[in-house]
Amino acid sequence: MNLPSMAVRRPVTTLMILISVMVVGAIAMDRLPHAYLPALDMPYIGVQIAYPNSNPTQIEKEITKPVEEVLATLPGVKKLRSTSSADEASFSMEFAWGKNLDVIRMQVSEKMDQVRPSLPAGIGEILIYSFNTQDIPVIQGRISAKDVDLSANYDLLESRVLNRIRRVPGVARVDINGVAPREISIELILDKIQEHQVDLNRLIERLRGAGSNMVLGPVDDAGLRYTARVLSSFQTLENIEQFVIDRNGLTLGDIAEIYYEEPPIAWGRHLNGEYAIALDVFKESTANTVEVVHRVMAVIENDIGQDELLAGVDVFVWEDQAEEISNGINGLLKAGAIGALLAVFSLYFFLRRLDSTIIVSLSIPFSIIAACGVMFFMGKTLNILSMMGLMLGVGMLVDNAIVVLESIDQRHRVEPDVKKAALEGSKQVVLAVTASTATTLIVFLPLIIGASTNLTTWLREMGITIGLALGCSLFSSLTLIPLMSAHFLRKRRTKPSRSLEWLERTYGKTLGWTLRHKIATFFILIGTAGVGFTPFFAGMVEFSQFSATVNKRLYLNYEFDDYHYKSEAERAVNKIEAYLSAHKEDFNIESIYSFYMSNTAGTTLILNRQDMRDKEIKALREKVREGLPEIPGVRVFFHEDADSGGDSTWFAVKFFGQDSGVLRKLTEETERRLNTLDSIRDVSTSFKRGRNEIQVKVDRDKAARLGMTAQDVSNIFAFTLGGMRLPRFNAGQREVETWLALRLEDRSNLEDLKRIRFSTNDGRQVKLGDIASFQVVRREQEIVRENRKVRGAVYATYEGEEWDSTREEIESLVNALDMPAGYAWAWNDFMLEQDEQGAQMAMNFLLALVLVYLVMASLFESLSQPFAILFSILFALPGAAWMAAITDTPFNLMSQIGFLILMGIVVNNGIVLLDRVNQHRRAGMPRDEAFIAAGRDRMRPILMTAVTTIIGLLPLALGGSTVGGLFYFPLARTVMGGLISSAFFTLLALPLITICVEWIGHWMKRIWQLSAPRPRAALQPAGAVTLITTKPSS
């Protein structure tokens, strides 16, 4: 017993099943977790190793290269990138999407344990981290007080702001940036050290030992075992000041200034011209985002906002994930409801019966509720992507129901028994609707099981949701529709619409004419196709893989000719911010955010529109450039990290090798050549930034003669040139960092450093200048390596209109460089990803075509008819082309995905039409008459399915929903335009194409039969007698 038979013959059982599905689905839908994005592990793992008071060259040699050696042995590493900067080394490993990062994190941890003994002793804690979409802050904001810098008020902010938010249920952690907890700074006075002839080596050893605790081991006493420990750490600041450092009773307070205060912050932040401290709130992985954010916002508004001790302090939230989730889901629900309502109205226009319209419309809520129930049991969430999948499917959810109900209605016209009509009518199309649903699902199969990329990983969530909804709609069309039709569909003739009657008559006459004048029809189709493809060939449609992207932010970078202190960098930022603030409305600026530190600064323009087209963004950048104030020694230009995002207007050329000097020359020459191109702006290189540092060269022979080890020399220089970390100090509620260093004024002069004395192992006093030479040199601010090679890069902005030709010109310029052996260049990662995704989409098209053909060949038991239906896919191109041209929509990656979806939708019409043709032909009807009769039978359901899908997509085509930085509207408009032209051509051209394909198939079969070897007469053996019989004459 199939589903329609069960629905008609066992209505109570079927009704109970449907009600159970609805009840369970409704409960599951209510409990379905809400999230902004699905829980996904990003295929990246990072490692961070702090090494204070070091330079990039030293870190590269002592940390980066040894760590790279072990990390490179990890299986599945696609890219290994390292950055050696002042005070730390960081590593980023990229893997394929879908890898189990928990296992990989364990492997990385094991590798770091292996290499740690070979790393310098002064490194900090090795941090291993990965990123999940659940790690995105649910609240981002800033803390500020008008004209007040809060960087020295950590304790106040922690006790009155951070701790209150931390106590909120569901909050995992709260981070602030721009203020740090208090530290103990022991600043040695150079004159006092020289006056008292303090031995620095012994001082360092005593301080390290005095600040540590030691476990002596187990002790037995009276039958009990205890653990003995020596507690020698400092308890108070007075203990540190009174710490005796020699036999004469000299204390640490006699030779040093000891502070317990917030350390100076190396960087600063402005938000709309005010000092700001960044605030990030993270939730627990199992907590409900919306509930956590609402609780935190209540604390911010009530407890923190009304605290008298925080008078004048403003906590401003500028990124609220709960608001984004609510607005996004509510917006999609509203758009989906509007689309569903419009689809219902269009159904009534065609059906002209309220009962039939209600029966078909029930498929929409049933399919959505059932799909949400399945999502709940699959552990999915209701997020922006899954909601988008449901919204895309709204118009398609009634397709199967329309075909089934139309077949039942036609059968009902000649069969008085409504139950029999429902059973026979649904059975006629059960294979057709099953196959059409299968073909629609198949086009999403490459996205679901194919190669994973950044974009396809997000689209997979949408594809799974659409697949679940369509599967539920198929179930409802084969159960709910026959059940409702058998018991609620009234037998009465409705007066059809005059426009529909005219359309049916006109269609029948036109189809008959095309079948009688096949040659003329063929040439008309060729001409129509030529006109349809005109927008593609006439340049009326913009072809750009990543156009129509979200342009929400612009970034200005500051490049300093010489070394600039933090205060000087802030003055440059203030001038730029004043200019931008004065033109906020002209530049469509919502907020201005800046950061600055020594020799580095940047300003981000947050726009009040994110739907600006590429041409508008280019015009805006040019408008900003025209009035940018000139600052001596500072170059301000637009810049974006081309490796992590952007569209074709941002790009980078990367060079790889082993010698930074050679890479510097290559990047400078490339910069010069790119500046000769009119359409290229904002050219910069990764080697422009640098900093001055003191380079110390130790005379190893002198040090050896004095009996000094490498560790002795390292200890001296560690705090004379920077600072040395000591064991942490217990401040009661927490442990604080302790640092030992010379006073800043005592280490700002090279001559003072040279006169510092220390004792050797045999007691002799030696000056630093006796064993080392000092000089100021220019060093790179950071050294970037990629796949164990040094990397240099040239960044630029493209402001032209013909990117493909400009790209070829750039490639010729770079290929003309005289690069030494072992050096190579490549485009930035994002551009290479565009090329990879373009190739992947082509493979997805081919795979979908093959799978669709297999399904249709199984349905029709024919090898030729599926080819005719595959031709109908081309029918969608003219409509998509003219829709893109009329609405000024680029044919980008989302448009290509829309065409992939069209492949599954368009063939449905062909399947429904040819399935009915075959039924008529099996009943003995002549071929041409069968096509005309089937066309009349299936014209209304084909038009209804096309119209309901188009109307259901209308809110999406006009909205601003996005995924992966790309707008959805090119996808929706492509599907809408393709459906318009495909419905027209399927009804008029598919019969002729089917006849031609069948004729070609018969012709090839005849050739095959004629080419087969003919059987030859058997040879007669010698002496055989042949009997000849003759028929007697009558």
**Per-position DSSP letters for 393-422, written without gaps between them:** HHTTTTHHHHHHHHHHHHHHHH-S-HHHHH
CA–CA separation, 871 and 986 (whole Å): 10
Three-state DSSP class for residue 640? coil
Q: Which residue has the higher pLDDT, 492 or 274?
A: 274
Mean pLDDT of 558-569: 83
Is the distance from CB of 175 to CB of 142 less than 8 angstroms? Answer: no
> What mean pLDDT comes out for the span 753-768?
70
Q: Please choose, from the candidates 126, 128, 103, 112, the residue with its C-alpha nearest in 3D space to the C-alpha of residue 70.
A: 112
What single DSSP character describes residue 801? S
CATH topology of domain 496-532+828-1009: Multidrug efflux transporter AcrB transmembrane fold (1.20.1640)
Residues 6+ apart with CB under 8 A from 406: 938, 940, 941, 944
Q: Are 560 and 688 in contact (CB under 8 A)?
A: no
Inter-axis angle of helices 399-414 and 454-488, nearest 10? 20
Say how far apart CA 866 and CA 888 lie, in whole Å: 34
Q: Which two tokens stand for residue 448?
A: 């679901």
Return the closest-CA partner of residue 68 out of 962, 1034, 661, 784. 784
Residue spans of beta strands (DSSP E) within 714-781: 724-730, 735-742, 757-759, 765-767, 772-780
Tell me the backbone φ, ψ of residue 367, rounded to 5 degrees.
Answer: -65, -40
pLDDT at residue number 168: 92
Q: What tens digit of pLDDT does each residue of 365-421 get?
A: 888 899 999 999 988 888 877 877 787 777 677 788 888 888 887 787 777 788 888
User: How far apart are the C-alpha atoms of 63 and 59, rounded to whole Å?
Assistant: 5
Distance of CA 858 to CAs 222, 434, 741, 855, 938, Å? Answer: 87, 12, 81, 5, 21
Spell out the SS3 assignment of 501-527.
Answer: HHHHHHHHHHHHHHHHCHHHHHHHHHH
Name every residue whose Cβ is closer than 8 Å to that of residue 266 and which is 6 or more positions away in sequence: 566, 597, 598
pLDDT at residue 1034 in the model: 37
Q: Which residues lie below 8 Å from residue 437, measured CB to CB, with a gap of 6+?
A: 400, 470, 471, 473, 474
Alpha-carbon separation of residue 122 from 536, 714, 719 (angstroms): 63, 10, 12
More confident residue, 967 or 976: 976
Structure tokens at 756: 């510092």
**What's the rounded mean pLDDT across residues 958-968?**
67
Residue, of 846 and 716, whose pLDDT is higher? 846
Give the amino acid at 174: V
pLDDT of 225 reads 59
Structure-block tokens of residue 123: 């490194």
Average pLDDT, the chain: 80
| Rounded-to-integer distance, Cα 247 and Cα 204, Å | 16
Q: Determine phi and psi for 792, rounding to 5 degrees.
A: -120, 155
Band of residue 1022 on the pLDDT scale cut at 50, 70, 90: very low
φ/ψ of 797, rounded to 5, equals -115, 135
Could you confirm whether domain 183-263+692-780 is CATH 3.30.2090.10? yes
pLDDT, greater one: 681 or 1034: 681
Q: Given pLDDT bands bounded at 50, 70 and 90, which one contains residue 815?
A: very high
What is residue 486's three-state secondary structure? helix
Q: How far apart are CA 359 and CA 371, in angstroms?
A: 19
Residue 134: its pLDDT value, please? 75
**Other residues' Cβ atoms within 10 Å of the Cβ of residue 71:** 21
Residue 217: pLDDT over 80 = no
Do 178 and 142 form a contact (C-beta atoms < 8 A)? no
> What is the tens place of the pLDDT at every residue in 27-53?
988 888 877 778 778 888 999 998 876
Q: What is the pTM of this model?
A: 0.71
Residues of the chain within CATH 3.30.70.1430 domain(s) are: 38-135, 550-641
List C-alpha distances in Å: 569 to 223, 444, 560, 601, 627: 68, 52, 9, 7, 20
Residue 481: Cβ within 10 Å count: 30
For residue 826, give both structure tokens.
């490549």
* Residue 586 neighbours by CB under 8 Å, 6+ apart: 623
Specify the pLDDT at position 647.
46
CATH architecture of 1-31+352-492: Up-down Bundle (1.20)
Phi-psi region of 732 (alpha: psi -120 to 50; beta: other; left: phi over 0): left
How many Cβ atoms are within 10 Å of 309's Cβ, its own excluded? Answer: 8
C-alpha to C-alpha distance for 186 and 351, rounded to whole angstroms: 87
- Residue 234, token pair as written in the block: 């400092």
Instruction: Give the burial string for 971-1000 (b: 16+ CB within 10 Å, else e).
Output: bbbbbbbbbbbbbbbbbbbbbbbbbbbbee
**Tokens describing residue 793:** 């890069």
Give span(s): CATH 1.20.1640.10, the chain.
1-31+352-492, 496-532+828-1009
Rounded to whole angstroms, the Cα distance separating 831 from 550 reads: 17
Q: Report pLDDT digits (tens) over 618-662.
A: 888 889 998 899 998 898 988 875 444 344 478 889 999 988 889
Q: Which CATH superfamily is domain 38-135 in?
A: Multidrug efflux transporter AcrB pore domain (3.30.70.1430)
Q: What is the pLDDT of residues 80-139, one digit of tens each?
A: 999 998 788 999 999 888 778 888 889 999 999 999 988 987 788 889 988 877 778 888
The first and second tokens of residue 281, run together, are: 């709130």
What's the confidence (pLDDT) of residue 336?
64
Highest CATH level, class, for 550-641 = alpha beta
Residue 309 pLDDT level (bands cut at 50, 70, 90):
confident
What's the rounded Cα separation, in Å, for the pair 78 and 98? 13
User: CA 988, 990, 993, 999 torsion: positive or negative?
Assistant: negative
Residue 575 CA to residue 580 CA, distance in Å, equals: 9
Residue 68: which of 87, 44, 89, 53 has the closest Cα? Answer: 89
Residue 490 makes CB contacts below 8 A (sequence gap 6+) with 355
Residue 502 one-letter amino acid: W
Please state whether beta strands 634-638 and 735-742 pair in parallel, antiparallel, or not at all (unpaired): unpaired
Confidence of residue 432 (pLDDT cuts 50, 70, 90): confident
pLDDT for res 1026: 45
Strands 256-261 and 553-560: unpaired
Quick one: pLDDT band at residue 1033, thresholds 50, 70, 90? very low
pLDDT digits (tens, 9 = 90+) for 239-296: 788 888 888 888 888 888 888 877 777 788 888 888 888 889 988 877 878 888 889 9
**Residues found in the chain:** 1034
837-871 confidence digits (pLDDT tens):
777 777 777 887 888 888 888 877 888 888 888 87
Do residues 165 and 159 make contact, with C-beta atoms less than 8 angstroms apart? no
Q: Which helix (H) or strand (E) holds 685?
A: strand 680-685
Model pLDDT, residue 213: 54
Cα 115 to Cα 112: distance, rounded to the nearest angstrom: 5
Q: Which residues contact 621 (CB under 8 A, 6 or more apart)?
A: 554, 638, 681, 797, 799
Rg of the chain on CA atoms, in Å: 38
Q: Pick left, alpha or beta for residue 326 (phi over 0 → left; psi -120 to 50 → alpha; otherwise beta).
A: alpha
